[in-house]
Amino acid sequence: MAFDTPPSDTPPSDTAPFDTALAEAWIRAIAAAVDQDRDRLTELDSAIGDGDHGSNLQRGFTAAVTALDGLQPAGPGAVLVKAGTTLISKVGGASGPLYGKAFRAIGAALPEPAGPAALAEALAAGLDAVRALGKAEPGDKTIVDAYTPAVAAFRTAAATGAGLAQAAAAAADAAERGALDTVPLQARKGRASYLGPRSVGHQDPGATSTALLFRTLAAVTAR
């Protein structure tokens, strides 16, 4: 991906909390990253879906950034809830409701300020929201295949005393591996499932954009 990524060996002495400024920076970084990767996401989706994943996400996160301009949120959770609500209202297809509900759930579960363990549990709440809405399990070739290992890696890092940057970098690495691991899978959910065996050999666009979300989280927490 074209945006800068932090080193994976960020020292665990990082103790800065996930606050309102970081929450806003994350949403803005996602919007910028989606702008850069729109064509790649669209290409992946064209192979096994409707071909609109990149453009849909670009429209949604552009709208989310606009919604944050001038907003005076009560905390980081309010930032993410606002972004999620905007995604639900502005993005078509499955990605709007899935990512929208994920961000709303993360925001609702997020205290202020949030350390690594609290952010890990908030991210897990987002995963629960995605799974509840999409009825997907790991191995179905969906967002869940990148999101599940990312949460596990974030939790593990937080439990061993890692700071936000190190935990987020571990989660991003795990999400990217999870996205790559969708290539040999046959899709069992979503539009790609209609292709049956023809979905094998293609990387899932939703898992790929999920990895992008976690990589941007790693980037903003490493600054």
Q: Which residues contact 90 (CB under 8 A, 6 or more apart)?
A: 59, 60, 63, 64, 96
Question: According to the model, what pLDDT value does residue 95 have?
Answer: 87
pLDDT at 10: 36
Contact residues for 38 (Cβ-Cβ < 8 A; gap 6+): 54, 55, 57, 58
Neighbours of 173 (CB within 10 A): 19
Angle at 139 between CA 208 and CA 125, to 5 degrees: 70
Q: What's the CATH fold of domain 20-221? A: 1.25.40
Among 131, 133, 116, 128, smallest CA distance to 170 is for 116
Residue 111 to residue 108: CA distance in whole angstroms: 8
Q: What is the pLDDT of residue 126?
A: 98
DSSP-assigned states of every residue in 177-212? HHHHTTTTPPP-STGGGGGGGGGTTS--HHHHHHHH
Tell me whether the omega of the peptide bond preceding residue 113 falls within 30 degrees of 0, making it cis.
Answer: yes
Structural contact between residues 209 and 184, judged by C-beta atoms closer than 8 angstroms:
no
Instruction: Return d(Cα 166, Cα 174) in angstroms, integer.
Output: 12
Q: Measuring CA to CA, which residue among 116, 114, 86 is closest to residue 101? A: 86
Q: What is the pLDDT of residue 5?
A: 41
Q: What is the pLDDT of residue 72?
A: 87
pTM for this prediction:
0.90
Instruction: pLDDT tens for the chain, 223 residues: list them.
Output: 444 444 434 333 356 799 999 999 999 999 999 999 999 999 999 999 889 999 999 999 999 999 999 888 889 999 999 999 999 999 877 889 999 999 999 999 998 889 999 999 999 999 999 999 999 999 999 999 999 999 999 999 999 999 999 999 999 999 999 999 999 999 999 889 889 999 999 999 999 999 999 999 999 999 8
Query: Within 13 Å of residue 193, how many CA atoms lie on the same side as its CB?
Result: 9
Q: Which of 40, 48, 41, 45 is closest to 197 using CA atoms?
A: 48
Other CB atoms within a 10 A radius of the CB of residue 9 amount to: 8
Distance from C-alpha of 185 to C-alpha of 143, rounded to nearest angstrom? 13
pLDDT of residue 14: 56
User: Within 13 A of 146's CA, how many CA atoms are on the CB side?
Assistant: 24
Write down the pLDDT at residue 56: 94
pLDDT confidence of residue 134: 92
Q: Where are the alpha helices (DSSP H) in 110-143?
A: 116-134
